[in-house]
Chains A and B, each alone.
Chain A
Amino acid sequence: MAPSAPSIASNMSSRAITPRPSSYRYKSEKRGMTYNIMLVGQSGLGRRTFLNTLCEREVIPPTEAPNPDTANVADPMKFDTYEVNLEEEGTRINLKVIDAAGFGDGLDNTSCFKQLQDYIEAQFDEVLVEESRIKRNRRYRDHRLHVLIYFIAPTGHSLRELDVELIRRLGEYVNIIPVIGRADSLTVDELATFKQNVMRDIDFYKLPVYNFCWDESDSDALKENREIMDFIPFSVVTCDEVIDNEYGSVRVRRYPWGTIEIDDESQCDFVLLRYILLNSHIADLINYTEDVLYENYRTKKLEVGGFAEGEDEEEDDEAGDESHAASTKKQE
């Protein structure tokens, strides 16, 4: 059984945005933190409504009814980008969300993984190039992906091939946080069993999901992070409508047999996930991306590219421009 949510959230809210020993946060507080999130999952799992609920506004309007003739033609996967400015407990966040629309929706989805990998690598390559410039752009906007939210279908069984492959292939490039979309189709017991099964699969296949406990130096946070890991995958239900009751405005989904309150932590993990993403762990996620994932990529790339230490800067620039052109092409 998962530990009771409220204690975690209330502990965390009392910490507010703990100034972690990172000057990054202090500097960016004025400008607004650059934060890039990608949403991946088959259609129908609530990715778009998740974003709207997360940002507490309609970022992605509901899609137009598709023509009947497009039903059997799966759109190739595309990356729809949305930019939102948020303010969370005094911190400004320049949020960029990339929705990988079309993932897993076709008959043959094996090319999706390479596309995603190419996209993520392209963002790394841009930074690589930018870092090596003789004259760097002070206003450079970092597009590296800080977290990938992966939506799992609420089957109640275990992970599917698509899920395993995605996490396996992309875990070394981006922090992956698995969530269960449409979690309101599972009862409390089913949800607990499903989470257990998914975690067992993650252990068994050694899937590289984001490890909240990566920073072992901070022992206070470690205990909390271990508790957070017990919630994975986070159950997500997204808001359909807002109603007014005696407590004020409440975000709900209304069924004939009852109404689920999105913000009620005993009913789903949305509030906890949001807090983790936009408050308590935003620095961790960014730091891990920059200090570990990017660095690993950079090392690999430079070794393979045959660049010895202290290469000619002009040569670097040329090669950089080539890879930049290639990466811009990939992004299209």
Chain B
Amino acid sequence: MTAPEVQDYVGFDTITQQMERKFLKRGFNLNVILVGESGMGKSTLVNSIFSTHLVDSQGRRTAQEVIRKTTEILPVTQTLDENGVRVRLTIIDTPGFGDQCNNEGCWVQVIKYIKDQHAAYLERELKPQRDRIINDTRVHACLYFLNPGSRGLRPLDVEVLKRLTEVTNVIPVIAKSDSMTLDERTLFKRRVKEEMSFHRISVYPYSSEDDDDEDRMLNASIRELVPFAVVGSEETIDVDDKPVRGRRHGWGVINIFDETHCDFVHLRNFMLRTHLSDLVEVTAQRHYEQFRTSQLRQIKELRAQQAAAAAAGGGGGSGSSQPPVGPLPHQPMAQV
């Protein structure tokens, strides 16, 4: 039986505009973490994507600066406004990652930070009196920077990607792809995809049953491009009196917006124009939910153990009153 046709105009289709107004008033949070060795072009790329100087490169440029021995976590928040839409953008840089002779465990601080944000959100959610709108510091996307020129994934990449993809949406990129010829890029992308598939590393975007044909096609075309071979630039160069955002080499000028030069436009469109709300949603529905489930299970088990211990020790009394929610098994660090 088909749905009854609405005869007069009722007007519930204005809900999209109502939602938009609410959304515009509220603004939204977007948190992106950058993971990669120093010198991979992380800061330049993120500044290029948002067309704003958001972060300073943390690379060591003077001899007096000490060589970092550990991975640091450096979040920087700025509010951007575009046509009345406000975004509280937090870029989390990870200087020191992968920069030492011995990189064992250099990912620990990164994974911990991401989990801490999930934990902080969960804690606020579980409060008896919780905020109407919880400030979302959860990491919505992780740009993982691959080394151009390597055969494919390096041992460090495999270790880190396995762990990162379990807690957040990972988007692999090659930021300084201007030293790779087109053939080298194609080969590299193919190898990386093979290796990721072999190690069961699943990067964003994920497929879901809700996808319609359009979504599937779009996601398929994105997956073709992964890892995105991009070039970042904060400079504008004059080429035949036309301003070009790019890099000037002795043998030519790279225009980062030229699709034949690099995938920058595709990456930007993907992240901001087509999948932005999906990144936020998937973080909440997939990564956060997984975290939440495992945390609450642990709490339940803890309670069961405590109850069993109480019953065994105290004897008699029915364990009627539920023990208060103890500290979460995963301790969040001090609020960022």
Contacts and interface: CB of A to CB of B under 8 A. Distances in A.
Interface of A: 43-46, 63, 65-66, 68-69, 71-74, 104-110, 153-158, 160-162, 164-165, 181-182, 184-185, 187-188, 197, 200-201, 203-205, 240, 253-261, 266-267
B152 A160 contact: no
Contacts of B303: none
Contacts of B102: 107-110
Interface in B150-170: 150-159
B247 A165 contact: no
B114 to A, nearest CB: 20
B199 A72 contact: yes
B149 interface: yes
Interface of B: 37-40, 57, 59-65, 67, 99-104, 147-159, 176, 178-179, 181-182, 191, 194-195, 197-199, 247-255, 258, 260-261
Contacts of A187: 247-249
A73 B179 contact: no
Contacts of A203: 63
A105 B67 contact: no
Contacts of B147: 44
A201 B148 contact: no
Nearest to B179: A185
Contacts of B199: 68, 71-72
B151 A63 contact: yes
Contacts of A165: 101
A209 to B, nearest CB: 14
16 contacts: A44-B148, A68-B195, A71-B158, A72-B199, A73-B155, A106-B155, A109-B101, A161-B99, A162-B101, A181-B149, A188-B248, A200-B63, A255-B181, A256-B182, A257-B251, A260-B250
Contacts of B60: 157-158
A153 B228 CA distance: 21
A256 B261 contact: yes
B176 A204 contact: no
B149 to A, nearest CB: 3
Nearest to B161: A72
A188 B251 CA distance: 10
Instruction: Name the 3 nearest CB pairs between A and B, nearest first.
Output: A258-B252, A155-B39, A44-B149
Interface residue SS majority, chain B: loop
Contacts of A205: 63
A253 B180 CA distance: 9
B104 A107 contact: yes
Contact of A105 (B99, B155, B254): B155
B194 A257 contact: no
B179 A197 contact: no
Given A44-B149, A44-B151, A203-B63, A69 B101 contact: no
B67 A164 contact: yes
B150 A44 contact: yes
Nearest to A74: B155
Contact of A182 (B38, B104, B149, B198): B149
Contacts of B251: 255, 257-261, 267
A43 B59 CA distance: 21
Given A155-B40, A184-B249, 19 more contacts: A44-B147, A44-B149, A71-B152, A71-B154, A71-B198, A72-B155, A158-B60, A158-B65, A160-B99, A161-B99, A162-B101, A185-B176, A187-B248, A197-B62, A197-B63, A255-B181, A257-B255, A260-B249, A261-B251
Contact of A45 (B99, B149, B176, B247): B149
Contacts of A204: 63-64
Central interface residue in B104, B182, B249, by most chain A CB within 10 Å: B249
Contact of B156 (A107, A154, A240): A107
A27 to B, nearest CB: 42
Contacts of A267: 250-251
B103 A107 contact: yes
B198 A68 contact: yes
B226 to A, nearest CB: 15
